[in-house]
C-alpha cells in the first residue's frame, strides 16, 4: 500500500511568494499518478502546479495570498489498499 512517510507540517510564506508543500510517499507500485493534492472549494488548477521526483509529490501555490491560507490534503493511493492522506497547513503572513 502507499503510505505517507513525511510531509511539510506547516508552510509559512510572505504574500506574493510561492509556497512549496512536499509529501513523501512509500509504496509499490508508486508513480506520480499515485500522489494527488486536494482542497475543498479551492481551484487547484488555477493557482497551483504539481511535481514529482524520487517518491515526493510537490504542490506549489503560486503568488500566495491571504485567501490561500488553509489546509491542503496530500493523498497517496496506489489502489493496493486504502488511501493514506495528511494535511499541510499553509500560512500567508
Tens digits of residue pLDDT in 45-93? 999 999 999 999 999 999 999 999 999 999 999 999 999 999 999 999 9
Write down all domains in the chain, each with its CATH number in brackets: 3-92 (2.60.40.10)
Per-residue pLDDT, 70 = 98
Q: List pLDDT tens digits, range 80-92.
A: 999 999 999 999 9
How far apart, in Å, are the Cα atoms of 35 and each of 11, 19, 24, 52, 53? 19, 18, 9, 8, 11
Give every CB contact of residue 32 below 8 A, 6+ residues apart in sequence: 52, 57
**C-alpha cell, 71:** 489546509
How high is the pLDDT of residue 91?
Answer: 98
pTM of the model: 0.95
Residue 8's pLDDT is 97
Amino acid at each position: 500500500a502507499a503510505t505517507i512517510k513525511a510531509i511539510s507540517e506547516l508552510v509559512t510564506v510572505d504574500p506574493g511568494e510561492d509556497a512549496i508543500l512536499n509529501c513523501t510517499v512509500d509504496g509499490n507500485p508508486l508513480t506520480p499518478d499515485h500522489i494527488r493534492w486536494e482542497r475543498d472549494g479551492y481551484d487547484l488548477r488555477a493557482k497551483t502546479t504539481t511535481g514529482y521526483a524520487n517518491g515526493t509529490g510537490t504542490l506549489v501555490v503560486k503568488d500566495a495570498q491571504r485567501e490561500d491560507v488553509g489546509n491542503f490534503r496530500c493523498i497517496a493511493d496506489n489502489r493496493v489498499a486504502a488511501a493514506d492522506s495528511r494535511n499541510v497547513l499553509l500560512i500567508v503572513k
